[in-house]
Amino acid sequence: MRNQRIISSTFLYLLSIIALVAFIFPFVLLIINSFKSNGEILTSPFALPEKLDFSQFIEVYNLMNFGVTFTNSFIVTTLSTFFIVFFSAMAAYHLVRRPSKFNKFFFTVLVASMVIPFQSLMIPLIYIYGAKLQLIDAIPIPLLIIFYLGFGSALSVFMFHGFIKAIPIEVEEAAKIDGCSTLQTFFLIVFPMLKPIAVTISILNVLWIWNDYLLPSLVLNHPDVYTMPVQMKVFNGTYMNNWELLIPAILLTVIPILVMYIIGQRSIINGVMQGSIK
C-alpha cells in the first residue's frame, strides 16, 4: 500500500514535470535566443548565448517605438477596463434591482449576444464608423475604447449580475431609510461589496484587451496609435526572417504582461477561478 503510494506520487511528479517543461520551454527558448546573432539563432537555437548582449533590445526598443506603443496599449487597456467595470457594475445593479419588463429583456439580449462571433460584426462596424462616419481615422483610440466598452459589457454585466443577486437587499434598504439616494447607496454600500468580482472582471478584460489583435488592426491605421500586437505584426512584416530583431521584439511585447502576472499571480488565478464559478 505504502509502496503503491510512493510509486503513484513519483508518477504524478514525473507527469507534472514533463508538463512543466512543455509549458515553459518556448519562453526559455526565446530568452536564450534573444542574445544571439541571426547566424547563431538559425544554426543552433538550443545553445546558450555566448554573452549577454542587450544591444539588440535597445535597437528593437527604438525600432518598435516602444514608448509610444506601450503607452497606447496601456491607455486603451486601463481606460477600457476601468469603464467596463464601472458601467457594467452599475448596469447589473440596476438590472437586478429593477426587474422591469424592458430590463429583463435587455439582460436576455446581453446574454444572448455572447454567442455572436466578432466576425459577424466587424464588417458593418468598420463600414459604419469608417466609411460612413469617418471616425476611425479621426479618433482611433477613443473609438477603440468605445468598441471595447460595447464588446466587453455582455460578459461583465452577466458576471456582476450573478454576484449582485446574492447580495441581500436589506442593507440597501437600511441605507435608503437613512436618506441615501440610489446613487449614494450604490457607491457607498453596494460597490465596495463587489470588489472580489470586480477584480476578476478586471483581470479577464485586461488579458483580453491587451492581447487583442483583430479589432485594433482594423481601427488603428497609423503607427502613432498602434498598440503592441498591431506593432508586433507590422514589425514582423518589416523584419521578416530577421530573428535577431524579431525575438527581442516578441520578448518586449510579452514582458509587460508577464511582469504583471508575476506581481499579481495569486489574485489573477483566484480571479479566473472566481469567474468560472458564477
Partner 1 sequence: MMKKRKNLGDIGNSALFLGPTLLFFSMTVLLPFAYGLFLTFNKMDTPADPVQFAGLLNYISAINDQEFWKSMWLTVRFVVATVFFVNLVGFGLAYLVTSGLRIQNTLRTAYFTPNLIGGLVLGYIWQFIFVQSLPALGTKLGISWLELGWLGDPTMAFWSLVIVTIWQTSGYMMIIFIAGLISVPKELIEAAKIDGAGPLKRLLNVTLPLMVPSFVVTVFLSLKNAFMVYDLNFALTAGGPYGTTKMVSMHVVNKAFIESNYGTGQAEAIILFIIVAIVTGVQVYTSKKMEVQA
Partner 2 sequence: MFHFKSNTGFFKKTAIVGIVTALSLSLAACSGDSDQSASGSKDSKISIIVTNGKGEIDAQFKQTAKDFMAENKDINVQVESVAVGDPMNVFDKLTASGKTVTMAMFSPFDATHKYKEVGMDLSGEKWNEETNDAIKSEDGTIIGFPFAIEGMGLVYNKQVVEKAVGGEFDPYSINTQDKFKELLDKIKSSGVEYPVAYQTEAWSVSNHYSSLFLNQSEDPNTVLKEVTDGKFDYMKNDVWNGYYNTMDILASEEYNKFGKRPTGQYYDAAHVAVGNGDSAILFNGNWAFDSLKALEGSDFGFMPVPVDNDPENPLNNKIIAGPTQALVINKKATEEQQDAAKKFLDWLVYGEAGQDFIVNKSQIISAFKNNPNKVTNPLGIAISDALVENKTLPFSTNYINTGDWTTILGPEVQKYIAKQSSRADLAKAFENYYKSNKE
Site for partner 1 in 88-117 (CB under 8 A): 88, 90-91, 93-95, 98, 103, 106, 109-110, 113, 115-117
Q: Name which position in 31, 42, 188, 263 contacts partner 1 (CB under 8 A).
A: 42
Look at the block and give the residue holding cell 462596424.
125
**Shortest Å, Cβ 126 to partner 2:** 8
Name the binder of 71 from partner 1, partner 2, none, CB < 5-8 A by kind: none
Q: Name which position in 78, 211, 242, 267 contacts partner 1 (CB under 8 A).
A: 211
Q: Of the two residues 201 and 220, which places its CB atom closer to partner 2 in the complex? A: 220
* Alpha-carbon 59 to chain mean position: 27
**Shortest Å, Cβ 200 to partner 2:** 32
Name the binder of 151 from partner 2, partner 1, none, CB < 5-8 A by kind: partner 1
**Shortest Å, Cβ 62 to partner 2:** 10
Q: Name which position in 123, 138, 258, 272 contacts partner 2 (CB under 8 A).
A: 138
Q: Name which position in 241, 262, 266, 277 contacts partner 2 (CB under 8 A).
A: 241
* CA distances, 132 to each of 120, 126, 129, 136, 150 (Å): 18, 9, 6, 10, 19
By CB under 8 A, the residues from 63 to 102 that bind partner 2 are: 63
- Residue 150, interface with partner 2 (CB under 8 A)? no
**Shortest Å, Cβ 77 to partner 1:** 12
**Pairwise CA distance, residues 27 & 82, whole Å:** 30
**Shortest Å, Cβ 55 to partner 1:** 20
**Shortest Å, Cβ 188 to partner 2:** 42
Q: Could you write out the DSSP letters of every residue in the chain? A: -HHHHHHHHHHHHHHHHHHHHHHHHHHHHHHHHTTS-HHHHHH-TTSPPSS---HHHHHHHHHTTHHHHHHHHHHHHHHHHHHHHHHHHHHHHHHHH---HHHHHHHHHHHHHTTS-THHHHHHHHIIIIIIT-HHHHSHHHHHHHHHHHHHHHHHHHHHHHHHHTS-THHHHHHHHTT--HHHIIIIIIHHHTHHHHHHHHHHHHHHHHH--HHHHHH--SGGG--HHHHHHHHHHHTTT-HHHHHHHHHHHHHHHHHHHHHHHHHHHHHHHHHHH-
Q: Of the two residues 138 and 272, which places its CB atom closer to partner 2 in the complex? A: 138
Site string for partner 2, 202-221 (x = CB under 8 A): ---------------xx-xx
**Shortest Å, Cβ 270 to partner 1:** 9
Q: Give the up-direction half-sphere exposure of residue 233: CA atoms within 13 A in the CB hemisphere.
A: 14
- Residue 140, interface with partner 1 (CB under 8 A)? no
Residues contributing to the site for partner 2 (CB under 8 A): 37-39, 42-43, 63, 130-131, 134, 136-138, 140, 217-218, 220-223, 230-231, 233-235, 237-238, 240-241, 243
